[in-house]
């Protein structure tokens, strides 16, 4: 049960969506986010991705953007990674989806900014997504922002040669954080119920009146 949500004592139950279209777009490097797609194409052609790339695509598939189950991601990695390890694979997917071991779901990888600071010229993207190779550095991470003239010069027709973004990261990332908060609250309530206790409320802070001996610090 290590790589499954059901009956996994280490995994929080999160109501992930089951959207074949989104899952397939992720698997095939067709999300419309060049860095994510380049990583998935490297996985498909070479059977490997740098560990930070694995972090980015795992977050993108689950809590970051597509809201798909980490189980599907783990299965895909298991069947494509040359260095696949059952234990490590399951652990990392639990961690990166914030289903277990790591719970700071508000820390979310940006599919644009995360890699842009490390590779501003997009060398990695140009290698694994040659369709975008002629784009100037300014738009290599966000081709949907390129003017029509720039796209024409690069030989790209969005929606035909390369897809438009499958989701708007700035919107769905916030929606997904709210979903995670709800899932965590339900998990906490369920745990309290099973233990026979009611959820504890945070203690109220005691305030002291300012006196001559009490110095207020700001």
In the annotated binding site, the residues are 83-85
Q: Which residues are annotated as part of the binding site for FAD? A: 83-85
Closest by CA position to 92, among listed 112, 106, 71, 121? 71
- 166 and 147 Cβ atoms separated by less than 8 Å: no
Q: Distance of alpha carbon 182 from its chain centroid, rounded?
A: 18
Closest by CA position to 108, among listed 70, 32, 37, 55? 55
- What CA–CA distance (Å, rounded) separates 188 from 12? 10
By the 10 Å C-beta count (0-12 exposed, 13-18 middle, 19+ buried), 213 is classed as exposed
DSSP string, 183-198: HHHHHHHHHHHHTT-P
Alpha-carbon dihedral angle through residues 83, 89, 93, 94, given to the nearest 10 degrees: -160
């Amino acid at each position: 049960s290590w790589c499954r949500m059901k009956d996994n004592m280490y995994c929080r139950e999160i109501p992930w969506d089951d959207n074949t279209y989104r899952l397939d777009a992720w698997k095939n490097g067709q999300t419309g986010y060049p860095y994510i797609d380049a990583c998935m194409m490297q996985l498909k052609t070479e059977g490997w991705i740098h560990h930070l790339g694995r972090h980015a695509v795992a977050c993108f598939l689950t809590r970051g953007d597509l809201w798909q189950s980490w189980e599907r991601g783990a299965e895909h990695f298991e069947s494509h990674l040359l260095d696949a390890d059952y234990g490590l694979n399951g652990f990392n997917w639990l961690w990166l989806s914030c289903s277990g071991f790591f719970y700071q779901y508000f820390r979310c990888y940006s599919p644009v900014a995360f890699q842009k600071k490390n590779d501003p010229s997009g060398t990695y993207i140009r290698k694994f997504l040659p369709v975008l190779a002629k784009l100037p550095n300014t738009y290599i991470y966000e081709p949907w922002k390129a003017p029509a003239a720039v796209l024409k010069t690069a030989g790209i027709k969005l929606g035909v040669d390369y897809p438009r973004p499958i989701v708007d990261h700035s919107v769905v990332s916030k929606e997904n954080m709210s979903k995670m908060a709800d899932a965590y609250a339900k998990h906490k309530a369920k745990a309290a119920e099973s233990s026979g206790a009611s959820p504890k409320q945070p203690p109220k802070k005691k305030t002291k009146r300012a006196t001559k001996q009490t110095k207020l610090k700001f």
